[in-house]
Amino acid sequence: MGKITNEELLSSINSKFEGKITVTGEPFGLLTIETGTDSIIELLGYLKNDPTFQFIYLTDITAVHYPEQEKAIGIIYHLHSLVNNVRIRIKVFIDGVACHIPTATVLWQGANWMERETYDFFGVIFDGHPDLRRILNVDDMTAFPMRKEFPLEDPNRVDKKDYFFGR
Amino acid sequence: MQNHPVYTDNDPQNENSTLNLGPTHPATHGVFQNVLQLDGERIVSGVSTIGYIHRAFEKIAEHRPFYQITPLTDRLNYCSSPINNMGWHMTVEKLLGITTPKRVDYLRVIVMELARISDHIVCNGVLGVDTGAFTGFLYMMEFRESIYEIYEEVCGSRLTTNIGRIGGFERNFNAKAFDKLRKFLVEFPKTLKQFEALFNRNRIFVDRTKDVAAVTAEDALNYSWSGPLLRAAGVDYDVRAMNPYSSYEDFDFEVPVGENGDVYNRFLVRNEEMWQSMRIIEQALVKLEKEPTDIFHADVPEFYLPPKEEVYNNMEALIYHFKIVMGEIPTPTTEVYHSVEGANGELGFYLVNDGGRSPYRLHFRRPSFINYQMYAPMSRGMLLSDAIINMSSLNVIAGELDA
């Protein structure tokens, strides 16, 4: 099967999701599109089930925090079509305070832990997730540590203060 | 997979017994906890708890310059750290647009395939131990030592290697490294053959592993499995073949595929991968003969640290040294996803860069983390003893699981 180009992929998605997606670029040949919380599951389902594309493989779900943006949290999905050997990256930007996004576990069981990890580190609530608990951090932790405002070290620590080193 | 009701401990209806498998159980080979509900010896349900050795690598990486992140990647899958190191270097090289000379690529391929062999040695050897056959493990372990000695010649360390630099290697391979490599290539096949003779048609081993924890290709893909586990289930997805990196397209190798994804198939797939890895290394040695022997890094002075003696005696080297260490060299503002075929599957690096000295965000796609999530659901209805060997054939490495 011939390789599907990003243009073909994009025009098909565009015709199906008119006005709901924006293209943010093609860094290193990986088509990157952006969509909203309303259409993300529909879009993922379309890419997964479409007989020509068959993005059956969910590579990764993660998030990035941009505190200066109005929509502060970006959820990043990486999909891979094993048949065509094409990858695609999908981004959804959501509000940093009330961060809600529908779950992708309806499409892939494997999304379960990836979403739990994203919740654990960024506080993103995946609506409809069967078991949205913390995964790597302790259950009674209150902060979401991968957010930019969370300091890397305990701010009360004094042994690394500059004045001890004459700086 | 069937659904059983999950009872709590003080539920009067709960007639099952609760077993804490882990966090430190000798049979789990790492820090994993599974709270199992047992009906006799059968597992009714299980809940996995992970994160016991979580070290916040992704957070730490946001505060470190690129070249200081390599030691963090060592500690992901510590059974095959060179693959992680190389994967990270290649991610940064992709970001910075560095092309490496062929000789560097081939040297990297050699080191990565050695790492794959050492990882599979541990996994398959331990699988033997868990099924009651200690001998094979001891035979094989000797050769992990040989591989570590080769690492020692190349980079000076053994387990957490920090091997290579962005742009190539920190020093050239010495003659001893090649001698040890050639010796390994002569001696290891004999032992591997012996190992296969001990296990592949061994009645006890086959009875213990065949049809245990079989996984269909659909389930494996649904759970985003990768690596030998996915291939054992019959899907021929190998990053080396599909998205070749580090000149893997120059090599002739086969991607072994299993039938039903059970423990026995995974064992065979890993064994065959070791043979294929040796094939690749042999080809790499032949290819290296045609390459100039003094090249071991790309010519990128703005990202590759100059040798110390030059820093003290050469103005330009001093400037570059300062600029690299202080992170004063601009990097492109973009994002990159690069993946390599780790010993456990697709090891991906998602790097978001804002032009500074350290990543804005770095995410590791860790195959062990993603492979392990099927463990509790697939254990339902399984015998406890089968669940143990299932875990050791998943080859979950705690460092990679918890990052």
Mutation target for A interface from B64, B93, B245, B361: give the one with most A CBs within 10 A. Answer: B361
The domain that holds B233 is classified in CATH as: 1.10.645.10
Residue A3 is classified by DSSP as P
**Of A56, A65, A150, which is closest to B221 when you measure between CB atoms?**
A56
**Nearest-CA neighbor of B341 among B186, B120, B164, B142?**
B120
Predicted confidence at residue B9, as pLDDT, reads: 60
* pLDDT for A67: 92
B156-208 tens-digit pLDDT: 999 999 998 999 999 999 999 999 999 999 999 999 999 999 999 999 999 99
Domain housing B208:
58-402
State the average pLDDT over residues B303-320. Answer: 91
Contact B59 A145 (CB under 8 A): yes
* Neighbour count for residue B207 (Cβ, 10 Å): 12
**A114 contact residues in B (CB cutoff 8 A):** 224, 370
Residues from chain A contacting residue B346 (CB–CB below 8 Å)? 59
pLDDT at A18: 84
User: Which residues of chain B have a CB within 8 Å of the CB of A135?
Assistant: 50-51
For chain A, the domain total comes to: 1
Least confident of A155-159, B20-24, B48-52, B331-335: A155-159
What pLDDT is stored for residue B1 in this prediction?
42
Is pLDDT at B354 greater than 60 in this prediction? yes
CATH of the domain at A56: 3.30.460.80
Residue B29 lies in a domain: no
Work out the mean pLDDT of chain B and round it to a whole number. Answer: 90
The secondary structure of residue A137, as a DSSP letter, is S
Residues in A closer than 8 angstroms to B348, CB to CB, are 59-60, 78
B36: number of Cβ within 10 Å: 24
**Chain B contact present for A106, CB below 8 A:** no
Mean pLDDT to the nearest integer, B61-67:
89
pLDDT of A122 over the 60 cut: yes
Q: How confident is the model at residue B277 (pLDDT cuts 50, 70, 90)?
A: very high
Q: Is residue A1 in some structural domain? A: no
The answer as to whether B13 is a domain residue is: no
- pLDDT computed for residue B8 by the predictor: 60
Q: Is residue B17's pLDDT more than 70?
A: yes
Domain assignment of residue A37, given as a range: 6-165
A109 vs B222: CB contact, 8 Å cut-off?
yes
Instruction: Check A136 against B403: CB less than 8 A apart.
Output: yes
Of A59, A87, A146, the CB nearest to B58: A146
pLDDT exceeds 80 at position B209: yes
A89 belongs to a structural domain? yes
Q: Is residue A35 part of a domain?
A: yes
Of B352, B365, B402, the CB nearest to A60: B365
SS3 annotation, chain B:
CCCCCCCCCCCCCCCCEEEEECCECCCCCCECEEEEEEECCEEEEEEEECCCCCCCHHHHHCCCCHHHCHHHHHCCCCCCHHHHHHHHHHHHHHHHCCCCCHHHHHHHHHHHHHHHHHHHHHHHHHHHHHCCCCHHHHHHHHHHHHHHHHHHHHHCCCCCCCCCECCECCCCCCHHHHHHHHHHHHHHHHHHHHHHHHHCCCHHHHHHHCCCCCCCHHHHHHCCCCCHHHHHCCCCCCHHHHCCCCCHHHCCCCCCCCCCCCHHHHHHHHHHHHHHHHHHHHHHHHHHHCCCCCCCECCCCCCCCCCHHHHHHCHHHHHHHHHHHHCCCCCCCCEEEEEEECCCCEEEEEEECCCCCCCCEEEEECHHHHHHCCHHHHHCCCEHHHHHHHHHHHCCCHHHHHC
**Predicted pLDDT of residue A43:** 93
What are the chain B neighbours of A152 within 8 Å (beta carbons)? Answer: 59-60, 62-63
Interface A–B counts its CB contacts (< 8 A) at 85
Residue B53 placed within a domain: no
User: Average pLDDT, whole number, for chain A?
Assistant: 89
Residue B25's pLDDT is 76
Q: Is residue A39 included in any domain, yes or no?
A: yes
Name chain A contacts of B361, Cβ cutoff 8 Å: 64-65
Percent pLDDT > 90 in chain B is 71
Mean pLDDT, residues B19-40: 83
pLDDT digits (tens, 9 = 90+) for A99-115: 899 999 999 999 999 99
Number of domains observed in the structure of chain B:
1
B34 within a domain of the structure (yes/no): no
CA distance A59 to chain B (A): 7
Q: Is A67 among the domain residues?
A: yes
Question: Which of A58, A62, A137 lies nearest to residue B54, judging by beta carbons?
Answer: A137
Residue B252 has pLDDT above 80, yes or no: yes
Q: Is A141 on the interface with B (CB under 8 A)?
A: no
B315 phi and psi angles, rounded to 5 deg = -60, -50
Under the banding of pLDDT at 50, 70 and 90, the label for residue B289 is very high
- Domain assignment present for residue B38? The answer is no
CA B144 to chain CA centroid, nearest Å: 14
Q: What pTM did the predictor assign? A: 0.92
- For B403, the closest chain A residue by CA position comes to A136
pLDDT > 70 fraction of chain B, expressed in percent and rounded: 97
Is B158 inside a domain boundary? yes
Question: Is residue B233 predicted with pLDDT exceeding 50?
Answer: yes
List pLDDT tens digits, range A4-61: 888 888 888 888 888 888 888 889 989 999 999 999 999 999 999 998 889 999 999 9
B interface mutation test: which of A65, A73, A80 has the most B CBs within 10 A? Answer: A80
Please indicate if any CB of chain B lies within 8 Å of the CB of A69: no
**pLDDT of amino acid B147:** 95
Contacts B373 to A, Cβ<8 Å: 109-110, 112-113
pLDDT tens digit string along B113-165? 999 999 999 999 999 998 888 999 999 999 999 999 999 999 999 999 999 89
